[in-house]
Structure 1
């Protein structure tokens, strides 16, 4: 049996990819529900994905509140004014909390993060449902194939880190370190308690689950966080080939014994080790910078390449 395993399961991911791409090819409008862990849903309009939501990723309202343009009380008041709307876009613009372009960016970030959370988890099935509307759609939808390709690229980037983690698996603890930290590192260390996963930390800090998962992996590699046990590898999907077994009628003759090895000279002193590459050192997420939208827009671009 091959040691190459898939965090999703080949059958589960294949079912999701087949169903989502088929919805795009047929111009489907509705919701593709994906039960699993964490599971979620893709919302399509004329074959394009205009929204995605998952219990494994913060939604657009959490990302907007993280920007400090609006606080919790102001958000609750807007929801009451709009009659209970989950995404009171008209009130946000009318009260000057955010512009239309800024809200579009938040919706795109939430869509892509939810897609990553669904693909990184376990897929138990797919169900297409007609007649549903998302609460925070993007104006221009994403082709399903491109959305899946981007989610897989993020999984590959995460797996390539020296200490990869999964969004819902490892539960890190702060390590005893005395060194300068970035604002994101300080924030994550303040919430890491050995019980919270990267997904929990994403909800706690109001950041994207991919951004937090990559930063947790980097902090483990730098010794800023530690886990009780070794981190589980995140394998990349690839075809598994059975080994070729050749049967022989008669066993071949044994090879001649190798010659005795020559003595290895002992150096007078130990060789000096050349330092290796430093790896990825930049922080993923922006600092929490009050009401500045410059820090907010970095949320989308601070990901592992």
Structure 2
């Protein structure tokens, strides 16, 4: 959690109070998937939520709005351009993950793709656990969307996600992937910086979270969140102070706000005696000439 100048906290709740109910809900759903050797999607409703892809009970892919997927990591890294990616998708008949084409064109090696896909898989599970889980729904499929050839056991993925949350919470200045929005400290003496530090300093603007910076730089959200927390501790980043509340003072004389005077009653409608009367035959007299 960011600490403001003068020791004032950011006002947010503890960013790593694990959603135990949601964690147990997800763990139970994944345990059933493993026991039944389920193949298909496990859709996790929540904030940010996500989708886990399983084959025979093992997790072979995961996606979450809270973490960049392997496609985003490759595109942001500069290994492949957007036009090249679109061409690969067309050549593969619309495949969501054209791994064979990436290797054949020399954009990435098989080992590199495995590392990127495994990192994205763990990153997505971490993002789901760092948020809130509201429910899980299974959707059976014959061929799930797989980014890793060899699936991982669900209990191992959950244990790794909890371990990452625990490691973040142990840092002196822990931050949440989708809450704190730090900016560089004005006039800081940065000294020697790593490439990641330089990237984060150039993109941190006081409006972007760790998740935003992960998508912008093509890095894993866990990696960016850890580095952001360390940079807060090193005095490279800081969080903006909460706005000072405007004091409310009573009016002079101790009087509060006076009630508005009731509006005057509406003007009564005209009485029946004031309405115009129609003379019998007047219409025909007007048509046939001047009134008599």
Q: Spell out, residue by residue over 1:63-105, the C-alpha distance to the aligned partner (whole angstroms, 9 max, x if none).
A: 2234432222222222232233221112112212122222222
TM-score, normalization by structure 1: 0.70
Change (3 A) 1:5 1:113: closer
Aligned residues: 228
Q: Decide which structure has greater helix share.
A: 2
DSSP 3-state at the match of 1:164 = coil
For the aligned residue pairs, the C-alpha RMSD in angstroms reads: 2.0
Superposed displacement of residue 229, structure 1 = 4.2
Superposed displacement of residue 164, structure 1 = 0.2
Please state if 1:141 is matched with 2:148: no
Q: 1-side partners of 2:142 and 2:132: how far apart?
A: 24
Change (3 A) 1:133 1:213: farther
Corresponding residue of 1:191 = 203
Corresponding residue of 1:178 = 189
Please state if 1:210 is matched with 2:248: no
Q: 2-side partners of 1:145 and 1:73: how far apart?
A: 38
Corresponding residue of 1:80 = 90
Corresponding residue of 1:58 = 68
Alignment of 1:1-305 (within 5 A): 7-131=17-141, 133-176=143-186, 177-180=188-191, 181-229=193-241
Runs of 4+ in 1 over 6 A off after TM superposition: 3-6
DSSP 3-state at the match of 1:87 = coil
Q: 2-side partners of 1:191 and 1:108: how far apart?
A: 26
The structure with the largest alpha-carbon Rg is 2
Unmatched runs of 5 consecutive residues or more in structure 2: 1-12, 243-292
Q: 1-side partners of 2:236 and 2:98: how far apart?
A: 39
DSSP 3-state at the match of 1:162 = coil
Q: 2-side partners of 1:85 and 1:92: how far apart?
A: 12
